[in-house]
């Protein structure tokens, strides 16, 4: 069938028949072609072959402390608040010395997963005294995979934690598979793993449509990439290199990987700083501040959270988010016993959001009923709410308030009568 296969099977059959005849006369069939000479990719001075372990290419580069990456200065990495990794990772990472963290990102032959996807380039980054040092482990062909992985494992043994972007789902399981296939021990087994994707999403998903590393570095760090290659084209670049031996197409790939690692480190630093000192977080957008406010409040720091809610409201929020922020901060104020502030927030909410108005009225009614004992105001608010959104609960509340009012009136009237009699 013409459609059923991309192959010309008839041609293949003829070739098999031909090679069978050759096989009877000539050399073995499995014999491979001669290996072609391999050009070392990248600037030659940066390449170093590690002796005794088979060949692969290692490209090192130091990003000095004074260098800027977008609005971020590399030297900022020297003061990453390591302890913030605990809350940032939901308590799964407890290794707080950033100098023992290794930032890691892979470039692979595909995205489909499974044993047929290899990492041909593994980039790492680590904080050094003079700056941030990236190391690119690159296999020039598949027969270098074993030595590349062995060197990578040895390098990883200097660290106790790996920091990635989506590495829990992608990079680390993929590398674990590669180590397994090469029958090498799994270096990640003994390491902690901080995947910055999840906290980043938590902080920026309100504002950004996609939370890819490239989107984040542009929105958060103000980096605009030049001379980059889109991630989806990378496998093809490597395959072309394998076929042609020409490494020119790979240079942007190395560049891309290095940028990914530097951005990952800067972004992690940014994130951890936000959690470490939320009030000083350099967030300008109301949406981001709202996300951080929620996060900080969830971590149990309600005062800090409230302050961030206020900042978020001041910074400006879309209508729905504003309603959320007012509602949530009103709840927090109530929990902290600051009822006046709560009432103010609820009144604001009732003013700005038609949709949330009944809920605000109900909470205000509760306040007036239970704390102010002002049953009339409470009843008026409840009835307003009933007109907009009737419910059995509200009707029940209305009846109760009526009973309370009657009782109160009864006391007043009977008192009056008693007075009259007296």
Partner 1 sequence: MARFEALRARAGSPIAAVRSQRAREARFEPFPAEVDARLRSALAAKGIERLYVHQAQSFAHITAGRNVVVVTPTASGKTLCYNLPVLNTLAATPSACALYLFPTKALAEDQLEEFNQIGGALGPDVRAHTYDGDTPSDARRAIRRRANVVLSNPDMLHAGVLPHHTRWARFFENLRYIVIDELHAYRGVFGSHLANVLRRLKRIAGFYGSTPLFVCCSATIANPSELAEAVTEEPFTLVSDNGAPSGEKHFVFYNPPVVNQELGIRRSYVNEAYRVARLFLDRGRQTLVFANNRLVTEILTKYLRERTRRPPGQPSPVRGYRGGYLPLQRREIERQLRSGELLGVVSTNALELGIDVGSLDAVVLAGYPGSVSSTWQRSGRAGRRSEVSIAVLVASSAPLDQYVVAHPEFFFDASPEHAHVNPDNLEILINHLKCAAFELPVAEDESFGPHPVGELCRFLEEVGVVHHAGGAWHWTSESYPADAISLRKISSDNFVIVDAADGARVIGEVAFPAAFTTLHEKAIYMHDGRLYHVERFEYDERKAYVKPVDCDYYTDAIEYVQVESLETFGEEPLGPAGTFHGEVRITRRVVGFKKIRFQTNENVGDGKLAMPEQEMHTTACWLHFPAPFLASLRYARDETRDGLLGLGNVLRTVAAVTLMCDPRDIGVATRSSHTAAEDPLDPEIFLYDNYPGGVGQSEPAFRMRGCLAARAQELLGHCPCESGCPMCVGAPGDLGSMAKEVAKALAASLCPDPEPGPVPRQ
Could you list the residues that contact partner 1 (CB under 8 A)?
1-7, 9-10, 12-13, 15-16, 19-20, 23, 28-33, 35, 109-116, 118, 141-143, 176-177, 180-181, 235-236, 238-239, 242-243
Rounded distance between C-alpha atoms, residue 392 and residue 249, angstroms: 69
Q: How far is the CB of 225 from partner 1 (least distance, A)?
A: 22
Alpha-carbon distance of 223 to 207, in angstroms, equals 17
Scored b (16 or more CB within 10 A) or e, 312-334 reads bbeeebeeebbbbbbbbbbbbbb
Please identify, using beta-carbon distances, which residue of 30 and 91 lies nearer to partner 1.
Answer: 30
What minimum distance in Å lies between the beta carbon of 148 and partner 1? Answer: 13
Q: Is 20 exposed, middle or buried (0-12, 13-18, 19+ CB in 10 A)?
A: exposed
Would you say 341 and 309 are in contact if contact means Cβ atoms under 8 Å apart?
A: no
What gap in Å lies between CA 373 and CA 46, rounded to an integer? 78
CA triplet 61, 64, 68: central angle to 5 degrees? 110
Q: Tell me the C-alpha to C-alpha distance, in Å, between residue 311 and each of 279, 286, 326.
A: 9, 7, 12
Integer Cα distance of 422 and 416 in angstroms = 10
Q: Which is nearer to partner 1, 174 or 317 (CB)?
A: 174
Of 7 and 280, the one with the shorter C-beta distance to partner 1 is 7
Of 111 and 354, the one with the shorter C-beta distance to partner 1 is 111
Q: How far is the CB of 244 from partner 1 (least distance, A)?
A: 12
What minimum distance in Å lies between the beta carbon of 168 and partner 1? 14
| Nearest-approach distance from CB 96 to partner 1, in angstroms | 30
Instruction: Output 11 or 280, the one with its CB closest to partner 1.
Output: 11
Q: At its nearest, how many Å lie between partner 1 and the CB of residue 247?
A: 15
Nearer to partner 1, 70 or 110 (CB): 110
């Amino acid at each position: 069938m013409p459609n059923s296969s991309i192959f010309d099977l008839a041609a293949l059959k003829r070739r098999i028949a031909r090679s069978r005849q050759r096989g009877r006369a000539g050399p073995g069939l499995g014999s491979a072609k001669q290996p072609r000479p391999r050009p070392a990719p990248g600037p030659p001075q940066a390449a170093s072959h590690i002796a005794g372990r088979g060949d692969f290419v290692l490209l090192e580069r130091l990003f000095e402390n004074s260098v800027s990456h977008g609005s971020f200065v590399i030297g900022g990495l020297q003061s990453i608040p390591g302890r913030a990794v605990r809350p940032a990772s939901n308590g799964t990472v407890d290794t707080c010395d950033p100098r023992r963290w290794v930032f890691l990102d892979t470039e692979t032959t595909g995205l489909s997963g499974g044993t047929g996807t290899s990492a041909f380039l593994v980039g790492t980054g680590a904080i050094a005294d003079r700056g941030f040092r990236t190391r690119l482990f690159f296999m020039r062909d598949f027969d270098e995979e074993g030595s590349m992985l062995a060197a990578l494992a040895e390098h990883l043994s200097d660290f106790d934690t790996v920091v990635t972007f989506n590495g829990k789902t992608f990079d680390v399981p993929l590398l674990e598979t590669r180590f397994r296939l090469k029958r090498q021990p799994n270096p990640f087994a003994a390491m902690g793993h901080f995947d910055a994707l999840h906290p980043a999403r938590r902080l920026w998903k309100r504002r950004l449509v996609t939370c890819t590393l490239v989107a984040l570095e542009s929105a958060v760090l103000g980096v605009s990439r030049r001379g980059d290659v889109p991630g989806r084209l990378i496998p093809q670049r490597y395959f072309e290199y394998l076929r042609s031996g020409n490494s020119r197409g790979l240079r942007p790939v190395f560049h891309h990987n290095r940028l990914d690692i530097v951005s990952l480190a800067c972004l992690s630093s940014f994130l951890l700083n936000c959690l470490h000192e939320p009030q000083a977080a350099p967030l300008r957008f109301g949406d981001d501040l709202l996300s951080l406010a929620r996060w900080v409040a969830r971590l149990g720091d309600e005062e800090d959270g409230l302050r961030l809610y206020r900042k978020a409201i001041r910074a400006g929020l879309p209508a729905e988010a504003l309603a959320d922020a007012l509602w949530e901060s009103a709840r927090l104020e109530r929990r902290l016993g600051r009822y006046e502030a709560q009432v103010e927030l609820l009144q604001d909410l009732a003013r700005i959001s038609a949709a949330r108005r009944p809920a605000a009225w109900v909470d205000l009614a509760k306040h007036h009923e239970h704390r102010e004992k002002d049953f009339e105001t409470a009843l008026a608010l409840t009835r307003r709410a009933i007109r907009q959104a009737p419910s059995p609960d509200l009707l029940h509340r209305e009846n109760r308030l009526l009973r309370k009012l009657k009782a109160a009136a009864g006391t007043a009237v009977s008192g009056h009568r008693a007075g009259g009699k007296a």
